[in-house]
Amino acid sequence: MDQEEVSKPEGMVSRGKVIAVLSMRVVYTLVSLILGLIAMALMGSAVYEVWLVLGDTSELVPALLDAVALLVIGMAVFDVSKFLVEEEVFSSGNQVSEGGQRNTLIKFLVIINIAMLMEALVFVFTAAKEDISLLVYPTFLLIGSVLLVLGLGIYQKLTEGAGR
């Protein structure tokens, strides 16, 4: 009887853990799906906006710059969606080594940094055409991106031997 009483709580804890893990996978899957749909809507909107102004050469360059910005943001959102599926849904429950966690963090930060750099470049061209005094904002974005690259390099150097 003592063994039966001991095994019941363990079974309940195990069952609760399984339910928690499955529910978290469902949540991450839904969030990833929604992010993916938003990303595709952003990219589709970019293509549609360019399509609408193809005949009007005076509006084409601003529409193309807006489209590049939307495409960059859409790709960044899609990469985050893909990242969530890969890391939280498919590899959830697997023990990830320190090296694996390090690579995951680096990959995620590189995605964010690429999006920041692309957005800053688009913003530079937009600000240069509209008002030169607006160039201070993309400059700060570029500085932030450079600082992120420097921080990432320092992080990689400091964690060089992790997980090997």
Q: Is the pLDDT of residue 24 over 80?
A: yes
Q: Where are the domains of the chain?
A: 2-158
53-90, pLDDT tens digit by residue? 998 888 888 888 888 888 988 988 898 888 888 888 88
d(CA 18, CA 6): 19
Q: Is the pLDDT of residue 110 over 60?
A: yes
Task: Name the pTM for this structure.
Answer: 0.67
Residue 128 pLDDT grade (very low, low, confident, very high; cuts 50, 70, 90): confident
Residue 146, exposed/middle/buried by CB under 10 A (0-12, 13-18, 19+)? middle
Rounded to an integer, the average pLDDT of 13-40 is 90
Q: Contact 114/76 with Cβ under 8 angstroms?
A: yes
Provide the b/e sequence for 97-121 (b: ≥16 CB within 10 Å). Answer: eeeeebeeeeeeeebebebbbbbbb
d(CA 141, CA 128): 15
Q: Contact 65/73 with Cβ under 8 angstroms?
A: no
